[in-house]
Structures are given as structure tokens and as C-alpha cells.
Amino acid sequence: MIVLKFGGTSVANAQNIKLVLEIVSKKSQNNKLAVVVSAFSGVTDLLLKASNEAASKNESYKVTLEEIQQKHFETISNLVSESHQKQVIETITTEFNQLKTLLDGCFLLGELSPRTSDAIASFGELLSSQIIAVALKKVVSDSTFKDSRQLVKTNSNFGKASVNFNVTNSLIEDYFKSNTSKVVLLPGFIASDEKGNTTTLGRGGSDFTAAILANGSHATSLEIWTDVNGMFTANPKLVKQAQPIETISYEEAMELSHFGAKVLYPPTIQPVLKANIPIWIKNTFEANVNGTLISNTPESNGNPVKGISHIEDIALLTLEGSGMIGVAGSSKRLFEVLSKENINVVFITQASSEHSICIGILNNDADKAKNAIDETFELEISQNKINPCIVEKDLCIVALVGENMKNHQGLSGKMFSTLGKNNVNIRAIAQGASERNISVVINKNDVKKALNTLHERFFEDNTKQINLFVMGVGNVGEKFIDQIHQQKKFLKENLKINVRVIAISNSRKMHFNEDGIALKEWKELIEKGEKADLNAFISKSKNLNLRNSIFVDITANDVVASIYDQFLKENIAVVTCNKIACSSKFDNYKNLKNLSRKYNAPFLFETNVGAGLPIIDTLKHLIASGDKVNKIQAVLSGSLNFIFNNFSSTYSFHDVVKEAGVQGFTEPDPKIDLSGIDVARKILILIRESGYQMEIEEIKNNSFLPEECMNTTNNESFFASLIKNAAHFENLLNEANSKNSRLKFVATFENGKASVGLEFIPQESPFYNLEGKDNIVQFYTDRYVDQPLLIKGAGAGAAVTASGIFADVVRIGNL
């Protein structure tokens, strides 16, 4: 015989039940079957809601009851042929009358005892099983209905009764021996005590009913049919990359379900484990998929970790004090009181000093537990030997599970460092003596991030997911998005980096998609997006709390430059081409660097100097390897270089500057380039990255712009002033020609002093032949004394800047 159990979603409506009947009818051709069904999806919750409403004298229980009734009658009309409807409607109406009487009673008394609560909750399975039994009869005529309460006997611990296996097993054995039907249909979850009162086996307990029946009837296998393709490596609702586990041992499955893998109710394994009955977890909606096989002989796939599970809504209780040390029996008293209060302990750790003991329980039990514990240790607390019990709520347990973990070293190290890198704070740790699980307690709002990073670390071939929050999609930003789009596949396959853009914003609109924005249509998506709002952007990015998040600033905006700290503090890396932050007050620059270190969030700004050229990265390596920068000489403005390279007697200064703007070589405000401020900012950043402390005001700016141009307040008047002062620029050019030299805007740092300004560069200088918009930097260091280390190449332009930003993102991906 085979026992099949179909869960709430599998029997949610007539359409799904038809799939169930197909599976049952096919299986029944070769096997005798016991089929256990849950209540229709959501019905148990509604029943409990109605009973609580009634008990608190809230008339809305009638509306809830109406909703339950409607669900059932609708299913009947879509499932059962008209000729059979009358009979089933009669049966179900009688059940509803009884249910209504119970609820009315609760309402009148304003009271709900655990016994009544179970009686009411049992209607979910009673109704579903009787309706399905009628429909089954049409498909398998040799089928019958049996009320599980007559077979499964429990104590009177209502809400989660304990099974009396001696009595139950013989009742089941006898029943199936004498029953000849091909298919027996039974309700899950419900049982009865010695006095015949209805009891329930705990939420999710239909799985357990099926296991009890499988054991008692000596079934050859137990099949749990649900709405997913098996037991997954992690909860598939939270971890998109989770995969079904092919085979797993009873113990591993038990551990995973104990730590929250809801797909299997934890007590389910026990009865079948003893009898060595294999369990299959199968998907009603994809019946042909293999699913998961739980047995004594799982095959190994080489990965010592089988799965990751978690329990939300956990509270940690800590009992500590000198009175705990060496006093035999404090733990015993602690656990006794919890057991007396019927509080389930999920997690225990004890410091070896015995000074404190820490236990994890469900949030809902926390207040009750604290009161009971403080009462038990009242004397010690009054004598200051033990502190009142400390309660921390809204935590979550995450557990790594695997039979073979004990044979592998360093797994816990890997687990903790993975979480640490993502700034997930671990509040408590426990490792079972069997080493079949390592569990940690963390904050509830870190759970999704923790599960996904751990899953990535242990199951995804080390592919690292990078989540980008991009601010600014102008010239450079657009190129950046295009480059990601093009390289996505390559990065995934070759560098094992999966780059996703989660948010994009320009100054008008922004668009978020937690699953990654479809890059081929980002322009339409942002147009259709919500109104841009910097604060909303920040809080949304933080609240998503995704692992390996990077804020990418592709603006030249000072307000955007002032928010980096808010990201870094949340362990969100910052990549920026915006120079404002790094060239602001030294304290601010230093603070950002410190935050980056403290919160383990990279802060990279390679494109602040020389666009995509690897200048800052090279400098970092020099410093890290112990070199010291003594002198820097550089042409750092691609825009000024473009301008002075093209400026000639036939191409006016004004026109060249205009053209540089059109080609995207200048800042949106060209005065920032022409005034020398931009170059001053760049050399300042190089000086600071070399390890010196300096402020922008300390850099001497030998500006070549006449006063009048400097004093303009907008682009229009600035350009007008360039025409007006044309003679000044022509004089500069003539002087350069007469000296046989070229005009270059040079930044210098030497002897602790820095300056920027236009210089006449003689032919023999390496700066003389600097073409187009190229940049050049010469570092004179302790190691590069006579011949400087020289970096040269295109130092402006949207594509190279975008690729520099991209390189920073990849650097973080490779960390």
C-alpha cells in the first residue's frame, strides 16, 4: 500500500482537486492507496480567525464563516456533477450547522477553550475530505471515506496532541487488513483522545497523519504531494536560486524541517524512519517531476551541506548571573518551567563557564516564558545572584544542515565569514553534537540576505550576485548600463559574477525591481517609473537589504555626493565617478574611508581621476606595497587637453569649448573644467590617496581665465565672455607658438605643495605630444626615482568613464 497526502494548495479549488484525482486514479491502478487530504488552502486559518473573533464577542465571525462556506459550496458546484450535488450539499450543510453552533457558543460565552478550538479547527479537514471523497467515488468507484479520528488516538493536549502509537498502530493495522477498497480517503490533521474528543496534531499536521497511517498500515512508501518540486536547498520563496534536493536522509530532512523547511511537518519523519518507509515529496502541479526522496540510503552529490533552513519570529532568552555557576540544576529548573508552560525550545547555547544560558523560542511565547522564568528564579533574582531574564525579540534562526558536515573542516568558518562580509550580525551560535547542523541567530530583517549569501556560498558554484543601485543615467550612465547589458553573460560564465541592476534613477524618475531590471528596456521602464526622490531611493535600497549591494553614483551632483555615508553604514558599497565627495573637506573624505572599512563596504572612485585609466588602483598598490609618492606631475583634464590641442588660429577658443561640451568631454558646467577646479580636485584626490592630508584651498590655482569669465553665473554668459575675451586666449596661443611650445594644463605636487595651471610645454617634455583628450600622470616615488611611473591614455569620454565604473564594480565582485 502507498499513502499519499495532498496539502492545502493541492486541494485549494475544484481545478486543483481534479489534478489530485487524476494522480490518485492513475496510482490506484497498480496499488492500494490511503489518501490523506488537508483542509482547502487558508481554511484552517479562517476557522481559527472566526473562533477568536467569536470568543472576543466580535460579530465579524459571521462574515468569516460566510467566507468559509462560500469557498466550500463554490468548490462543490465546480467539482461534483449536478446529480450528486444534492447529497453532498446536505452533508456539508449539516457540518456547517454544527460549526455555527460551536461558534455561536463561543460568542455567547465570550470564551474559547483549547478543546473547542480543536473542534472548530477540525472542520477544515472534515469538510474537504468529505467533498473530495464524493468526487473520488466518480473516478475510482472502489473507494471509501474513513474518519481519521477513529484511527489516530492521542492524549488530550489540544492544539498539538501526542499520539498514542500502541493503540493507533493496531487500530490502523486492523482497519486496513479488513478493508478491501482500492482507495481510502481520510482527513489529515485530526484525531481523537480517549474520551472521543476531537484533537489536532499541530499546524501542518496532515503530513504527520499520513506518516502515522503509513507506519500503521506497513505501507511501502509515503508520498507528500505539495506545491513545489520537492524539498529545496532553501525556502524557494526567499531564495530564487534554490534547487530541489534529489535524495536526502531521514535525519537531514528532519533537521531541515525542524529548522523551518515548512514543506514537511517535523514529526512526520519519526514514524516512517523506524519502519524504513521511503518518503517522496512531489509536486501536484508537475506530477512528472521526480521530487525528493527521503530514505536511509541517500546518494551523495559531494556537497557536505544538504540545505539551509530558517525559522522566523524567534526570541532569545538569556539567563545569566553568578548564581548559575556550579549550582547543579539551574538548567534543569529552567527547562522544567518551560516544559510546564508548554513552550517549545528551538535552540540552546550555554557558555562553558555556565555563567549564562541562552535559549531560542518562538516570539509569541516570549512574554509568557519570561514571566514564568523570573517567577521560578525569584529568590536568586532578589538576592542579585541571577539577573532577570533578558528577552530579545524579532530574531531568526538560520541553520546549515548536512550529514557529512562533520567530516569537513572549516564549514562553520565559511558560514560565519560569509555572513560577516555581508554585515549580518550573529547573535548566537549553536552546533548540534551530531554536527548535522550549525545554526545561528540573526536579526529578522537580515534573513533574506543571509539565506541568499549562504546559498550562493554553498550551492551556487561560487557565483556571486552583485546588486546595483544606479543614480544618474545621462551620457556616462547610459553607456554604463549598455556595457553591463553586453557583458552580463561573459561575467557570469567567466568570472562567476552575476550583475543585476536593481534600481535606476535620473533627476526626474526612478525605477526599482528587486529581481533585476530588464536592461534591454530600461529606458521605457524608467519613463514609466515613479517620481525621483533621493530619500525614497536611499530608504528603498536599504530596506531591500540585498547582499553585495553597490550604490553607483554617475552624477556630478553635490547632494548625491553627500549621501554616501548612509549607504556605507548599511554595508552597501559605493562606486562613483563624482569627484565632489573625495575632494570635499579632508575629514569627510577620511570619514567615508573609515566607514568603508568599518562596515566592510568598498568605496571605489577610480574614475575620479583619468576616467577609465587605472591611476588610483595603481597608486593603491604602490602604497600598499610600501612605496612612497614624492612627486606627481600630470595632465589630468581630458577636456582642457582636447581644447588646447584643437584651439588654433582658425578654430576659435569659444568654438572649441562648445564642441568639447557637445562631445561630452566637459562637465555639464564647463567653467568647472576651464577654471582649473576640476583638475585641482583630481590632484587633491591623488595626493590624499598617496597618504597626505590636504584641503582644496591649499592647492594654488594659476587660472588662465580672465576675471570676467570667472565671474559669470551661468553657461550662457560664460560662453559670451569667452567670445568677448577672444584676444586674451589668442595671445596665449601666440606666445606658445613663439616659444615653440604647446599649452597644457598641468597639475603638480612636490615637497608637500600642489598647484595647477596652464604651462608652455617644450618639445622635449613627455607632455608635449599628448594627443586629443589624453591624460598623463607621472609618479615619482621612493622606487621610481629618476624615471617616473607613467600612466597615459584617454582620460575623458563617456565610454571610457563608463568602463572605469564598470571595472570598479567588477573589482568588488572579485573581492
List residues binding Mg ion (CB under 5 A).
7, 204
How far apart, in whole angstroms, are the C-alpha atoms of residue 684 and residue 701? 12
231 contributes a contact to ligand ADP by CB under 6 A: yes
From ligand ASP, ligand ADP, Mg ion, none, interface partner of 203 (C-beta below 5 to 8 A by class): ligand ASP
Question: With respect to ligand ADP, which residue has the nearer C-beta, 7 or 804?
Answer: 7
257 binds, among ligand ADP, ligand ASP, Mg ion, none (CB under 5 to 8 A by kind): none
Supply the minimum distance, in Å, between the C-beta of residue 170 and ligand ASP.
25
Give min distance, CB of 63 to ligand ASP, in A: 20
Q: Does 237 bind ligand ADP (CB under 6 A)?
A: yes
Rounded to an integer, what distance in angstroms lies between the CA atom of residue 585 and that of residue 341?
60
Alpha carbon 574 to chain centroid, angstroms: 19
Q: What's the burial of 82, exposed, middle or buried (CB within 10 Å: 0-12/13-18/19+)?
A: exposed
CB of 235 to Mg ion, least distance (A): 13
Q: What are the angstrom distances between the C-alpha of 598 and each of 182, 424, 581?
A: 67, 13, 18
Torsion of CA 378, 379, 381, 384, to 10 degrees: 170
124 binds, among ligand ASP, Mg ion, ligand ADP, none (CB under 5 to 8 A by kind): ligand ASP
Cβ atoms of 451 and 400 within 8 Å: the answer is no
- Sole binder of ligand ADP in the list 2, 7, 419, 563 (CB under 6 A): 7
Q: Which of residues 299-358 bind ligand ADP (CB under 6 A)?
A: 307, 309
The three grid cell numbers given for residue 641, joined into one nine-digit string: 587637453
Choosing from 54, 152, 183, 228, the residue that interacts with ligand ADP (CB under 6 A) is 228
Q: Going edge to edge, which strands form the sheet with 356-362? A: 347-350, 356-362, 307-320, 390-401, 437-443, 426-431
Q: Is 55 in the site for ligand ADP (CB under 6 A)?
A: no
Binding partner of 235, given ligand ASP, ligand ADP, Mg ion, none, CB within 5-8 angstroms per partner class: ligand ADP
Binding at 189: pick from ligand ASP, ligand ADP, Mg ion, none (beta carbon under 5-8 Å per type): ligand ASP
Q: How far is the CB of 41 from ligand ADP (least distance, A)?
A: 7
Cβ closest to ligand ASP, residue 162 vs residue 588:
162
Nearer to Mg ion, 205 or 216 (CB): 205
Please report how many Cα atoms fall inside a 13 Å half-sphere around the Cα of residue 192, on the Cβ side. Answer: 12
Decide: is 422 part of the binding site for ligand ADP (CB under 6 A).
no
Nearer to ligand ADP, 33 or 55 (CB): 33
- Nearest CA to 596 among 607, 610, 611, 581? 581
Residues that bind ligand ASP (CB under 6 A): 7-8, 38-39, 44, 124, 188-189, 203-207
Write out the H or E segment, with its range, that includes residue 773. none
HEC per residue, 539-577: HHHHHHCCCCEEEEECCCCHHHHCCHHHHHCCCCEEEEC
Binding part of the chain for ligand ADP, among 5-13, 103-111, 397-405, 657-665 by CB under 6 A, reads 5-13
Residue number with CB closer to Mg ion (47 or 501): 47
Of residues 184-213, which lie at the interface with ligand ADP (CB under 6 A)? 204
The residue (of 237 and 528) whose beta carbon lies closer to ligand ADP is 237
d(CA 734, CA 737): 5
Nearer to Mg ion, 117 or 257 (CB): 257
Q: Write b or e for each residue in 450-479: b if 16 or more Cβ atoms lie within 10 A of its Cβ, otherwise e.
A: bbbbbbbbbbbeeebbbbbbbbbbebbbbb
- Span near ligand ADP by CB under 6 A; candidates 7-15, 595-603, 688-696, 793-801: 7-15
| Closest to 770 measured CA to CA, from 604, 646, 593, 608 | 646
Annotate each residue in 259-288 with x if it binds ligand ADP (CB under 6 A) or - if it does not, as one string.
--xxx-------------------------
Q: Report the alpha-carbon distance of residue 452 to residue 339 in Å, rounded.
A: 34
CB of 128 to ligand ADP, least distance (A): 11
Residue 424 as a binder of ligand ADP (CB under 6 A): the answer is no
Q: Which of residues 357-396 bind ligand ADP (CB under 6 A)?
A: none
Pick 203 or 406: Cβ nearer ligand ASP: 203
Residue 128 binding ligand ADP, by CB under 6 A: no
Contact 647, 653 (CB under 8 A): yes
| Candidates 71, 306, 682, 744; catalytic one | 682
- Yes or no: say if 215 and 66 are a contact pair by the CB < 8 Å rule: no
Interaction partner, residue 227 (ligand ASP, Mg ion, ligand ADP, none; CB < 5-8 Å by kind): ligand ADP
Q: Which residues pair with 573 in a beta bridge?
A: 550
Strands of the sheet containing 509-512, edge to edge, are 530-531, 509-512, 497-505, 464-471, 549-553, 573-576, 603-604
DSSP string, 231-289: SBSS-TTT-TT--B-SEEEHHHHHHHHHTT-TTS-GGGHHHHHHHT--EEEEEGGGTTS
Q: What SS3 class is residue 205?
A: coil
Q: Are 386 and 355 in contact (CB under 8 A)?
A: no
**Shortest Cβ 266–ligand ADP spacing (Å):** 12
In whole angstroms, give the CA distance from residue 392 to residue 367: 10
Phi, psi of 707 (to 5 degrees): -40, -50
Nearer Cβ to Mg ion (204/813): 204
Name the residue nearer to ligand ADP (CB basis): 207 or 673: 207
Rounded CA gap, 584 and 410, in Å?
44
Question: What does 261 bind: ligand ASP, ligand ADP, Mg ion, none (CB cut-off 5 to 8 Å by kind)?
Answer: ligand ADP
Q: State which of residues 148, 199, 200, 226 lies at the interface with ligand ADP (CB under 6 A).
A: 226
Burial 607-635 (b: 16+ CB within 10 A, else e): bbbbbbbebbbebeebeeeebebbebbbb
Residue 245: alpha-carbon gap to chain centroid:
21
Partner from ligand ADP, Mg ion, ligand ASP, none contacting 465, C-beta within 5 to 8 A by type: none
Q: What cell numbers appear for 178 in the block?
A: 479488513
Q: Cα 427 to chain center, whole Å?
A: 18
Which of ligand ADP, Mg ion, ligand ASP, none does residue 323 bind (CB under 5 to 8 Å by kind)? none
Picked from ligand ADP, Mg ion, ligand ASP, none, the partner binding residue 44 (CB below 5 to 8 A depending on kind) is ligand ASP
Classified as helix, coil or strand, 292 is: strand
Which of Mg ion, ligand ADP, ligand ASP, none has residue 39 at its interface (CB below 5 to 8 Å by kind)?
ligand ASP
The residue with its CB nearest to ligand ADP is 7
Q: Which is nearer to ligand ADP, 76 or 399 (CB)?
A: 399
Closest residue to Mg ion, judged by C-beta, is 204
8 near ligand ADP (CB under 6 A): yes
Within 10 angstroms of residue 137's Cβ, the number of other Cβ atoms is 17
How many amino acids of this chain bind ligand ADP (CB under 6 A)? 20
Q: Binds 95, which of ligand ADP, ligand ASP, Mg ion, none (CB < 5 to 8 A, cut-off by type)?
A: none
Instruction: Specify the stretch interacting with ligand ADP by CB under 6 A; choose among 6-14, 129-137, 347-355, 799-807.
Output: 6-14
Please, which residue, 213 or 538, has the CB nearer to ligand ASP?
213
262/811 with CB nearer ligand ADP: 262
Q: Cell numbers for 453, please give them.
A: 549569501
Q: How many CB atoms lie within 10 A of CB 195?
A: 7
Residue 148, contacted partner among ligand ASP, Mg ion, ligand ADP, none, CB below 5-8 A by kind: none
Q: How far is the CB of 312 from ligand ADP (least distance, A)?
A: 11
Q: Please indicate whether residue 520 is annotated as part of the active site.
A: no
List contacts with ligand ADP (CB under 6 A). Answer: 7-10, 38, 204, 226-228, 231-232, 234-237, 261-263, 307, 309
- Active-site annotation, residues: 682
